[in-house]
A and B are shown apart, each in its own frame.
Chain A
Amino acid sequence: MTAFWSLVARDLRLATRAGGGALLALVFFATVATLVPLGVGADLKLLGRIAGGVLWIAAALAALLSIDRLFQNDLEDGSLDLITLGPLSLETVVFAKTLAHWLSTGLSLTLLSPVLALLFNLPERAYFALMASLALGTPAISAIGAIGASLTLSVRRGGLILPLLVMPLIVPAIIFGSGVVDAALDGRPNGALPLLAAFSVAAVLLSPFAAAAAVRANLSG
Chain B
Amino acid sequence: MSLDDQRAKRTSIFEFANPKRFMDASEGAIPWLAAIAVLTVGVGLFMALFVVPPERYQGDTVRIMFVHVPAAWIGMMAYGAMAVASFFSLVNRHPLADVAARTAAPLGAVFTALALVTGSLWGRPTWNTYWAWDLRLTSFLILLFLYLGYIALWNAIEDEILAARLAAILALVGAGDLLIIKWSLEIARWLGIEANMLHQGESIFRADGPSIAPIFLWPLFLMALGYTALFLLLWVVRIRTEILERRTRVLLSREA
A residues with a Cβ closer than 8 A to B are 147, 151-152, 154-155, 158, 161, 164-165, 167-169, 171-172, 175-176, 191-192, 194-195, 198-199, 202, 206, 210, 213-214, 217-218, 220-221
CA A158 – CA B158 in complex, angstroms?
13
Are B138 and A171 neighbours in the complex by a CB distance under 8 Å? yes
By beta carbon, the residue of chain B nearest A195 is B184
With both chains docked as a complex, state the minimum distance between the C-beta of B172 and any C-beta of chain A, in angstroms.
7
CB distance from B167 to the nearest CB of A (A): 9
- Give the residues in chain B near A202, CB-CB below 8 Å: 176, 180
CB distance from A206 to the nearest CB of B (A): 7
Pull 24 A–B residue pairs with CB atoms less than 8 Å apart, ordered by A.
Answer: A147-B173, A151-B166, A152-B156, A161-B149, A161-B153, A165-B152, A167-B149, A168-B142, A168-B145, A168-B149, A171-B142, A171-B181, A172-B180, A175-B138, A191-B188, A191-B192, A191-B193, A195-B184, A195-B188, A213-B165, A214-B165, A214-B169, A218-B166, A221-B161
A210 to B143, CA, bound (A): 19
Q: How many residues of B contact A (CB 8 A)?
A: 36
B162 at interface, CB cutoff 8 A = yes
The answer, yes or no, to whether B4 is at the interface (CB within 8 Å) is yes
Q: Residue B128 at the A interface, CB < 8 A?
A: no
Give every chain A residue within 8 A of B159 (Cβ-Cβ).
154, 221
Among B4, B152, B156, B180, the most chain A Cβ lie within 10 Å of the Cβ of B156
Tell me the dominant secondary structure on chain B's binding face.
helix
Instruction: Compute how far the CA of A169 lies from the CA of B173 in the bound complex, rounded to whole angstroms.
Output: 8
Minimal beta-carbon separation of A106 from chain B (angstroms): 19
Contact at B149–A164, with CB atoms within 8 Å?
A: yes
B146 in the interface (beta carbon within 8 A): yes
- How far is the CB of A98 from the nearest CB of chain B, in Å? 14
Distance of A45 Cα from B135 Cα, bound (Å): 26
Query: When the two chains form their complex, are residues B2 and A164 in contact, meaning their CB atoms are under 8 A apart?
Result: no
The 4 residue pairs across chains A and B that have the minimum distance between CB atoms: A191-B193, A168-B145, A221-B162, A217-B165
B177 contacts the other chain (CB 8 A): yes
Answer whether residue B191 sits at the interface, using C-beta atoms and an 8 A cutoff: yes
CB of B38 closer than 8 Å to a CB of A? no
**Once the chains bind, are A155 and B156 in contact (CB under 8 Å)?**
yes
* Contact pick for B153, options A165, A210, A221, CB 8 Å: A165
The reply to whether A217 and B3 contact each other, CB–CB distance below 8 Å, is yes
